[in-house]
Amino acid sequence: MSRSLPSRDLALREAATVPDPDRGPARANPQSWLAVYLPNLAFDVFGSQGADEPAVVVEPLHGQVYVVAVNRSARRCGIVRGAKLNSAFALAASLRVFERSIRREQASLESLSAWVQRLTSVASLSPPDTVLLEVAGSVRLFGSLAAIKHKLAEELARRRWAVRLCAAPTATAALWLARGAVEDVESLATLSGRLGSLPLRVTRWPPEVQALLRDLGVRTIADCLRLPRDGFARRVGREFLHDLDRALARRFDPREAFVPHERWSAKRELYHETANVAVLMAAVEDMLDALTVELRRRQAEVRTLSIAFEHVRREPTFESFDWAEPTHERDRLLSLLRDRLERIVLPAPAIALRVTTGFLLPLQPKADDLFDPMPVETLSHVLLERLRGRLGAEAVHGIAPVAEHRPEFAWSRSDAGAAGASCAGGPLSPWARQRPLWLLPAPLPLGSVEAHRYYRGSVELGSSAERIESGWWDGRDACRDYYAAQSSSGERLWIYRDRRSLDWYLHGLFG
């Protein structure tokens, strides 16, 4: 590697503030990164519609609408990236305008990353417009880098996406080279020289950083590398120095590998239409056998699953199932399905079944105890999913206190079994001792037929009033005086008087 830092001695002396670049890198496994740069992705995601008339993709910024991508005929009219939409309309009145869709761009990158899994196992998204592939192993498999690039170019031509491919020994360098439209760099020895000739904009550092460097007379990467390291770190920012180090393989450059989302699906045709549970269950069991084999092979788990019952001349009926935690065990999968399927009522006999799982999740091995076959946590998850499966998700929940003065809002439903569910109720008010254990779902007018289901006879006030006055800001204003009371039949009641209407209400029972 060429040494392009004249101030190395200074850097070594101040090693405490700026680590020495030569200590970090590991070049034991030479890597080779291929950047798949999609310069016109913002436009390409809208397909090739209207290719012959001028069209632009726009994005609002600071109250103005700017052009972020143009097609060829728009460029011919003189519209450039970064122009305001109004000036673009001045140049081409028949302009077609698309609003930028980050979601579609992300989906496109993900679909490309899923496709390139056939070329390499390590693909990494670098939004908004690049996919990075680690191809050192693949070059050996496919014979040459050119073969890989050829396959990629074919696929991208099929998708009609503009692309620029560039390979380099580091991921950051590949990214910058692709943006700068420079040839591949094969060895580390030539890397800094080739990177050096790139203009500063390929780094995509924030505009103010680029402006600062421009003011210092820095135009290219090489100019950057010529600056003293410690001064660069202090005046420009350490993270940008790290970027340079990563590009030159002086620093680790870990990239998160893209893991494609996969589902598993199987379809089973029945011999004849049937609504017979035993027949349906047998078919489902067969498919689950195949599923568990597949899950074991892939070391994966599933958390959700849906079954579509297909009918003749009718829309399919869907049933979906949720487990409290991802699982791959046949018995656990089956017990929930069986509970539900035994009681299912189909609108028509089914002719085919399709089982589709949710995303396959990587297996999380659990620590098994030799003597205690199932930890309590698993047992409670099994219980929760079984109850939810049969009674519905709404019927099973936990409770949590809420710091709030109005009694009806001082508690909430919580998700039973969710990690981190805790009783963060805040400090209890000194009055909390007088709260009843039972709260009625809604206050009932004292003396009404409904309220009389809970007590008999007359009501005698027992305690002094507690005034609760709160909530004028959210429209559910409460302005009440609460009393503990006892009915002549022995129930201890919690009643209040609304201070506006002066009516009495039953709100709780002391239990």
Partner 1 sequence: MGSNDLLDSDELRGRIWRGKGGARSARAALPTGFIALDRYLPGGGWPLGPLIEVFVERYGVGELSLLMPALAALTTGDGSRASRKWVAWIAPPFVPYAPALQQRGIAVDALLLVHPSGKECLWTVEQVIRSGSSCGVLAWLAAADHVALRRLQLAAEAHGCWTILFRPTAARHERSPAALRLGLEQAGSVTRVRIDKCRGAWPALVDIGATE
Shortest distance, CB of residue 174 to partner 1, whole angstroms? 45
Tokens of 447: 């003396």
425 contacts partner 1 (rule: CB under 8 A): yes
489 contacts partner 1 (rule: CB under 8 A): yes
Residue 242 has a CB neighbour count (10 Å cut-off) of: 18
Residue 48 has a CB neighbour count (10 Å cut-off) of: 11
Residue 53 CA to its chain's centroid (Å): 37
- Closest to 107 (Cα-Cα) out of 49, 32, 41, 58: 41
398 contacts partner 1 (rule: CB under 8 A): yes
334 contacts partner 1 (rule: CB under 8 A): no
Residue 130 has a CB neighbour count (10 Å cut-off) of: 22
Residue 32 to residue 18: CA distance in whole angstroms:
27
Using CB under 8 A, pick the residue from 262, 377, 460, 469 that binds partner 1.
377
370 contacts partner 1 (rule: CB under 8 A): no
399 contacts partner 1 (rule: CB under 8 A): yes
CA 163 → CA 96, 139, 178, 179, 420, distances in Å? 23, 20, 9, 10, 46
Residue 497 makes CB contacts below 8 A (sequence gap 6+) with 480, 481, 483, 503, 504, 505
84 contacts partner 1 (rule: CB under 8 A): no
493 contacts partner 1 (rule: CB under 8 A): yes
446 contacts partner 1 (rule: CB under 8 A): no
Shortest distance, CB of residue 329 to partner 1, whole angstroms? 16
Are 73 and 52 in contact by the 8 Å Cβ rule? The answer is: yes
338 contacts partner 1 (rule: CB under 8 A): no
- The DSSP secondary-structure symbol of 493 reads E
433 contacts partner 1 (rule: CB under 8 A): yes
Shortest distance, CB of residue 326 to partner 1, whole angstroms? 17
Using CB under 8 A, pick the residue from 91, 352, 400, 479 that binds partner 1.
400
Nearer to partner 1, 83 or 459 (CB): 459
Nearer to partner 1, 111 or 380 (CB): 380
Nearer to partner 1, 15 or 437 (CB): 437
Nearer to partner 1, 90 or 432 (CB): 432
Using CB under 8 A, pick the residue from 26, 28, 345, 376 that binds partner 1.
376
Using CB under 8 A, pick the residue from 199, 416, 466, 498 that binds partner 1.
416
Residue 363 to residue 295: CA distance in whole angstroms:
9
Element (H, E) at 65: strand 64-70
Nearer to partner 1, 61 or 374 (CB): 374
- Closest to 189 (Cα-Cα) out of 171, 169, 174, 172: 169
The answer to whether the Cα torsion of 460, 464, 469, 470 is positive or negative is: negative
427 contacts partner 1 (rule: CB under 8 A): no
CA 317, 323, 324, 329: dihedral to nearest 10 degrees?
170
Using CB under 8 A, pick the residue from 240, 411, 445, 471 that binds partner 1.
411
Tokens of 36: 């798949």
Nearer to partner 1, 91 or 416 (CB): 416
Binding-site ranges for partner 1 (CB under 8 A):
374-377, 379-380, 382-384, 386-387, 390-391, 394-402, 407, 410-412, 414, 416, 421-423, 425, 428, 432-433, 435-441, 453-456, 489-493, 508-511
